Amino acid sequence: MSTKLEERQKQRQDEIITAARRCFRASGFHGASMSQIASEAKLSVGQIYRYFSNKDAIIEEMIRRIIDYRIAEMEDKTQTDRMPQILAWRQTLSEDDDALMLEMSAEATRNPLVAAMLVEADARMFANACEHLKKQCPHLSEERIRCCVEITAVMMEGSIYRRLTPQKVSASELEKIYREILNMLLIVN
Amino acid sequence: MSTKLEERQKQRQDEIITAARRCFRASGFHGASMSQIASEAKLSVGQIYRYFSNKDAIIEEMIRRIIDYRIAEMEDKTQTDRMPQILAWRQTLSEDDDALMLEMSAEATRNPLVAAMLVEADARMFANACEHLKKQCPHLSEERIRCCVEITAVMMEGSIYRRLTPQKVSASELEKIYREILNMLLIVN
């Protein structure tokens, strides 16, 4: 019986997160209230509160899932090889995730609680990426690994951000240059 | 007399933009209404409408000024040399401008009018940066210039975005690597 209850609870939680994501995408951080999220999830506000004590708890879970997904995708061995392509063609795992993270980042500039969530999320991503790169490039120093991860993160975030405006150069030319940059980063120094 | 009137009008416009910036920073895109902006500027809503027909017109002027400032700073000859340092130490022209642009970018993911403003702003920045780099590096092909500008823009935007979370590596190590990357970009190919 307990397993069925747990399954039901998990499903409810998923529904609430899905509804919250839709609300944030449609109306922005402040446009989405607990009652709007409840209405979008077709639940009462009271039901929502049984799963999440407030909007911040929903946001925390939403960010946690986005980061979990990004970390899981990093495990894909081909992703490092595909990085120049991902950057040059501005490929993304999820446009919705990117837009939600952008929304949360804008909010983080004035909301210390959301800022702390992003700090924690980035620390987790960063540690995972370092571990991952270390396995692939055991010849690199700890410091070099961290620098590579930081610069790759900068290029990933920058490329995602620039998806908001049209690409102004040939993506295949860009891909070659990104490949040179990434090769350079992974050379023993 | 006309000059004095123009001056007065210019000053009013400045006051409104300053008030709007404060409102957007404090409450986000949707938190800031025309009446809040008026109240922040210590003007009546009617007075605001004599200068700007709606909130979109205020935003457009605000973005125009941010881009004008960034373009003016690009003219500073030393900025290209300082680029590795700017990137590695995550230096910024204006934290407020960055936060406002982040706010507008989040809004652009659901608001086609704001998205169009950002597209226009980026096109202007991009064209200016290309012209600027061409003067400094006349040996580079048109295509290479555009690729360099794109990748530098990616790294700038990414670095600005990552200021939201703590720097996890030595900035002086990063600076060396960014210098290598930028040198590589400017090599004739």
Q: Give the pair of three-digit tokens for residue A32.
A: 């989405």
Decide if A135 touches B, using CB distance below 8 A: no
Place of tokens 């700090």: A119
pLDDT class for A38, splitting at 50, 70, 90? very high
Rg, C-alpha atoms of chain B: 19
Spatial distance between the Cα atoms of B179 and A115, rounded to a whole number of angstroms: 30
Q: Which of residues 66-85 of B touch A (CB under 8 A)?
A: none
Contact across the interface for A164 and B28, Cβ inside 8 Å: no
Q: Give the pair of three-digit tokens for residue A99.
A: 């837009």
pLDDT tens per residue, range B41-83: 999 999 999 999 999 999 999 999 999 999 999 887 677 789 9
Instruction: State the CB neighbour count (10 A cutoff) for residue A83.
Output: 19
Nearest to A164 among B108, B159, B162 (CB): B108
A42, burial (CB in 10 Å: exposed 0-12, middle 13-18, buried 19+): exposed
Q: What pLDDT does residue B117 have?
A: 98
Mean of the per-residue pLDDT values of chain B: 94
Contact across the interface for B150 and A168, Cβ inside 8 Å: yes
What φ, ψ does residue B139 adopt, rounded to 5°?
A: -75, -15
Per CATH, the number for B1-52 is 1.10.10.60
Q: Give the pair of three-digit tokens for residue B77.
A: 């000859």
CA dihedral (B43, B44, B45, B48) positive or negative:
negative
Contact across the interface for B169 and A180, Cβ inside 8 Å: no
pTM of the model: 0.94
Task: Answer whether residue A186 shows pLDDT above 80.
Answer: yes
> Is the separation of the CB atoms in A98 and A160 below 8 Å?
yes
Spatial distance between the Cα atoms of A183 and B119, rounded to a whole number of angstroms: 32
Spatial distance between the Cα atoms of B20 and B66, rounded to a whole number of angstroms: 13
CA dihedral (A81, A171, A169, B160) positive or negative:
negative
From the CA of B164, how many Å to the nearest CA of chain A?
7
What Cα–Cα distance (Å) separates residue A139 from each residue in A75, A134, A136, A187? 19, 8, 9, 9
Find all residues with CB under 8 Å of B147, minimum gap 6, and list them: A169, A170, A173, A174, A177, B185
A135, burial (CB in 10 Å: exposed 0-12, middle 13-18, buried 19+): exposed
Q: Which residues of B touch A179 (CB under 8 A)?
A: none
Decide if B142 touches A, using CB distance below 8 A: no
Decide if B126 touches A, using CB distance below 8 A: yes
Find all residues with CB under 8 Å of B13, minimum gap 6, and list them: B51, B61
Place of tokens 């009013």: B12
Q: Show the CA angle centred on residue B151, arms to residues B182 and A89, nearest 5°.
A: 140
pLDDT tens per residue, range B79-135: 778 999 999 999 999 999 999 999 999 999 999 999 999 999 999 999 999 999 999
pLDDT tens per residue, range A44-98: 999 999 999 999 999 999 999 999 999 999 887 677 789 999 999 999 999 999 9
Contact across the interface for B109 and A30, Cβ inside 8 Å: no
**Best mutation target, B147, B173, B188, B189, to test chain A (most A CBs within 10 A):** B147
Q: What pLDDT does residue B188 have?
A: 60
Spatial distance between the Cα atoms of B105 and B111, rounded to a whole number of angstroms: 10
pLDDT tens per residue, range A103-154: 999 999 999 999 999 999 999 999 999 999 999 999 999 999 999 999 999 9
Domain ranges of chain B: 1-52, 59-185
Q: Which residues of B touch A184 (CB under 8 A)?
A: 180-181, 184
Chain A residue closest in CA terms to B157: A158
Find all residues with CB under 8 Å of A27, minimum gap 6, and list them: A36, B30
Q: What pLDDT does residue A75 have?
A: 83
Q: If we measure between CA atoms, which residue out of B98, B117, B115, B114 comes closest to residue B156?
A: B98
Q: What pLDDT does residue A20 have?
A: 97
Q: What pLDDT does residue B74 have?
A: 87
Instruction: State the CB neighbour count (10 A cutoff) for residue B16.
Output: 23
- Whole-complex ipTM: 0.94
Q: If we measure between CA atoms, which residue out of A92, A91, A97, A100 comes closest to residue A28?
A: A100
Spatial distance between the Cα atoms of B178 and A178, rounded to a whole number of angstroms: 13
Q: Which residues of A touch B143 (CB under 8 A)?
A: 169-170, 173
